[in-house]
Amino acid sequence: MDYELSEEQKEFREGFRAFCEKEIAPQAARIDREGAFSFESHKRLAEVGFLGLPFPEKYGGGGKPFLTCVLAWEELARACPSTFLSSGIGCLLPGMAINQFGTEDQKQKYLAGLIRGEKVAAWALTEPQTGSDVAAIKTEARREGASHVLNGTKALATNGPIADWVVVVAVTNPSSALPQRMSAFIAEKGIPGFSAGEPLDKLGARGSPTSDLILQNCAFGGSQLLGEEGKGFSVLEKIQPFGRLSSAAYCLGVGQACLEEAIRYAQKRQAFGRPIANFQEVSFKVADMQMFVDTGRLLLQRAAWMMDEGREADSDLSIAKLFLSEAATWCAANAVQIHGGHGFIKGVKVERLYRDAKLGELRDGTSEMQRRKIALNLLGEGFR
């Protein structure tokens, strides 16, 4: 086994880290405070090739393997979790759906604009009454001649308030079994009946706007169907792994940032005549953070490598995502602890990271759902 990244990967990571530290990290506190997505950062991320990293060169992408992508994802999340949530994960999932299931026309129209940073996209699966239980979605797509008419509400959509286009999953065949019941559609901003709710006032990742998306008698022509009718569940099965991979990278970036802040503060803060880093109670917390971050990074890179190799990575993705999301909240809680009361105050970086960290355990499959997936893969159908 070779644990060493190639020289090219190391150089790429260093270069992208320098960019994030110079241009992204200085915005992080402000966009959290103002609850404002940075279109400027989004545009710069397109210019440096970040938005297109995993996509084919034909559409302006970088054609990079996921092992390279996770290096950049970690760096962006380390610099600003909100920016990574919106410009990274939020655009990755709809972009991947178009890349894997779109027609050539759809790829030219939607994917190329996304990669150039001209458009922002969103992924709309969750509904007010259901998130984990995908089979319980209710948004209906009724066939009328050559069109589909969609009615329903999607909830908690990352980029909902700012998206130019959205991949929406809706029920087309309510009487069919799950694999044939749903279809995926592309909803463009401005089509009659399609609107975004008010931006939600969130605990963390506040620089990434989230909202409901409402579809009221919204007519979709054939060119807005993504993939075949009745194959929406296949779209989910193919796209959700990218959600787990990128969410795991979000958590790794947050955990790494917490570790660095904890070290910095522990070496600077004095108590009882010496730096608090000299107390074993503090230094062991830092050591444990390093252990969690390091282990999580290996799990993430293994899962990315398996995806690049075309290997079955279902459990590996869940293990990486579950471990890193719980590691990130642990690291954030202990980074605040090391900062004492000062870590509880707005404007102190670890306070923001503590709020941002929690999201990792919730989106792209909660921790409970990841454990269920791992258990199901170990124990088989009898587990259900």
Ligand X SMILES: Cc1cc2nc3c(=O)[nH]c(=O)nc-3n(C[C@H](O)[C@H](O)[C@H](O)COP(=O)(O)OP(=O)(O)OC[C@H]3O[C@@H](n4cnc5c(N)ncnc54)[C@H](O)[C@@H]3O)c2cc1C
Are 12 and 68 a contacting pair, CB within 8 Å? yes
Query: What distance lies between CA 135 and its chain's CA centroid?
Result: 22
How many CB atoms are located within 10 Å of the residue 143 CB?
Answer: 11
Take residue 77 and report the two structure tokens written for it: 């999340």
3-class DSSP state of 167 = strand
- Can you state the angle between helices 66-79 and 280-308, rounded to 10 degrees? 140
The minimum distance between CB 356 and ligand X, in angstroms, equals 10
Sign (positive/negative) of CA torsion 62, 68, 71, 74?
positive
The minimum distance between CB 200 and ligand X, in angstroms, equals 8
Answer for which of 229, 366, 374, 377 binds ligand X (CB under 6 A) is 366
Phi, psi of 267 (to 5 degrees): -80, -25
Q: Which class for 278: exposed (0-12), middle (13-18), buried (19 or more C-beta within 10 A)?
A: middle
Query: Using CB under 6 A, which residues numbered 248 to 267 contact ligand X?
Result: none
3-class DSSP state of 218 = strand
Answer for which of 130, 283, 290, 337 binds ligand X (CB under 6 A) is 130
Answer for which of 45, 157, 320, 327 binds ligand X (CB under 6 A) is 157
The piece of 129-137, 171-179, 247-255, 268-276 that touches ligand X (CB under 6 A) is 129-137
Query: Using CB under 6 A, which residues numbered 169 to 228 contact ligand X?
Result: 202, 205, 210
Take residue 374 and report the two structure tokens written for it: 């791992």
Query: Using CB under 6 A, which residues numbered 340 to 359 contact ligand X?
Result: 359
- 12: Cβ–Cβ under 8 A, 6 or more apart, which residues? 68, 71, 72
3-class DSSP state of 284 = helix
The minimum distance between CB 124 and ligand X, in angstroms, equals 5
The minimum distance between CB 355 and ligand X, in angstroms, equals 11
Answer for which of 219, 333, 369, 375 binds ligand X (CB under 6 A) is 369
- Return d(Cα 169, Cα 185) in angstroms, integer: 6
Answer for which of 362, 374, 375, 376 binds ligand X (CB under 6 A) is 362
Q: Quick one: 153 or 337, whose CB is closer to ligand X?
A: 153
Q: Quick one: 127 or 261, whose CB is closer to ligand X?
A: 127
Residue 125 sits in the site that holds ligand X (CB under 6 A): yes
- Return d(Cα 259, Cα 283) in angstroms, integer: 11
Give Rg (Cα) of the chain.
Answer: 21
In the chain, the amino acid numbered 364 is D
Answer for which of 6, 103, 108, 132 binds ligand X (CB under 6 A) is 132
Answer for which of 126, 211, 247, 329 binds ligand X (CB under 6 A) is 126
The piece of 176-184, 257-265, 343-351, 361-369 that touches ligand X (CB under 6 A) is 361-369
Answer for which of 97, 156, 182, 307 binds ligand X (CB under 6 A) is 156
Query: Using CB under 6 A, which residues numbered 103 to 122 contact ligand X?
Result: 122
Q: Which class for 325: exposed (0-12), middle (13-18), buried (19 or more C-beta within 10 A)?
A: buried
Q: Quick one: 147 or 367, whose CB is closer to ligand X?
A: 367
Answer for which of 38, 41, 106, 158 binds ligand X (CB under 6 A) is 158
Q: Quick one: 92 or 289, whose CB is closer to ligand X?
A: 92
- Write out the residues near ligand X by the rule CB under 6 A: 90, 122-126, 130-132, 156-158, 202, 205, 210, 359, 362-363, 366, 368-369, 372
